[in-house]
Chains A and B, each alone.
Chain A
Amino acid sequence: MSSDIATSVPRDEARQGTARRPWRALAVQLLGPLTIVAGVVWGVAQPYRIVLDRPGANLYDYLFQPPLLVILVGVVFTFLVAPGLVDDLGAEENRDPAR
């Protein structure tokens, strides 16, 4: 039998692929928000890590505190990296529905 005609294996792969893909997009979309939540929880748990009004505090003390930096990383990933990845996952799905 010619291998060009035997298509049962790709059909099996298609079933696995469609089952896996939504999980991937969701996981990528959740990475950033989960990081933001981690930063917020840290800020709530240790409010003294966020400087609001301390005598002698400088710009670094106000802007570069760990909970704020964690939130910033989450925001950057959520808005700059994740959307493109989700789009490309969708494009891959449309381009190659058998995967």
Chain B
Amino acid sequence: MIPRAETAHWIAASIALFFGLVLISELIVGREVFYRRKWRAYLFPSLVIVSSVGLWVITIFSTFSTMHLLAHSIWAQAALVAGAVELALARGKIRRAAWSLVPAFALLVSGIAFLVHEQNPWLYSRSAFLHHAIGWMLVVVSLFPLMHAVQPRRLAWRTGYALTFVLLAVLLFADRDAAPIFGRFGLGGP
């Protein structure tokens, strides 16, 4: 049984929220303590890669529109590449902070895909509003891993990257297949 789009978005939101909590906890305890257990070091990269596989599955069911097919493919590929880089970082195969440019690029491409594949204006529906909001949010927050590549010791960029996932979760949880933008207030929408 294939879930509705909003259900798939809520599941994605749960994963994003878990990502956020894991990254925030890593910031709190520090990388040295967090990496003390191998499974914890691999948790975030593994989940990103598993999410990319899930996105590929969703891509298979997105054949109702070429635009959605392409957008989901781009998200799946971006997540896969970002997850692979995170995994290599966790394993110590790569060490340079410049590798943060890959997640930055993945976020930027994902944001652009969100913006391009939403054909309705901001206030058309809640779904359209959230697509625009998430798209621009991803474009802006791609600056966090970008700046981390430039200033790897600065805590603000890693904090912003962690909070990105919490914000993404909030926006995805707000999604409905059919609803006016702000619920019972009925602003916008058909």
Interface residues of A, Cβ cutoff 8 Å to B: 24, 27-28, 31-32, 35, 58-60, 64-66, 69-70, 72-73, 76-77, 81-82, 84-85, 88-89, 91-92
Q: State in angstroms the CA–CA spacing of A27 and B29 once bound together.
A: 9
A76, B38: Cα distance in complex, Å: 18
The docked-state distance in angstroms from the alpha carbon of A66 to that of B183 is: 15
Query: In the complex, are the beta carbons of A70 and B33 less than 8 A apart?
Result: no
User: Within 8 Å of chain A (Cβ to Cβ): is B14?
Assistant: yes
B-to-A contact residues, CB < 8 Å = 1, 3-4, 7, 10-11, 13-14, 17-18, 21-22, 24-25, 28-29, 32-34, 36-37, 40, 43, 173
In the docked arrangement, what's the CA distance between A88 and B37, Å? 9
Instruction: Identify which of A76, A88, A91 contacts B18 (C-beta below 8 A).
Output: A76
A32's closest neighbor in chain B, by CB? B21
Does the CB pair B7–A64 fall under 8 Å?
A: yes
Residues of A within 8 A of B14 (CB): 69-70, 72-73
Q: Is the CB of A64 within 8 A of B28?
A: no
Collect the chain A residues with CB atoms within 8 Å of residue B33's CB: 85, 88-89, 92
Q: Identify A88's interface contact among B3, B29, B43, CB under 8 A.
A: B29
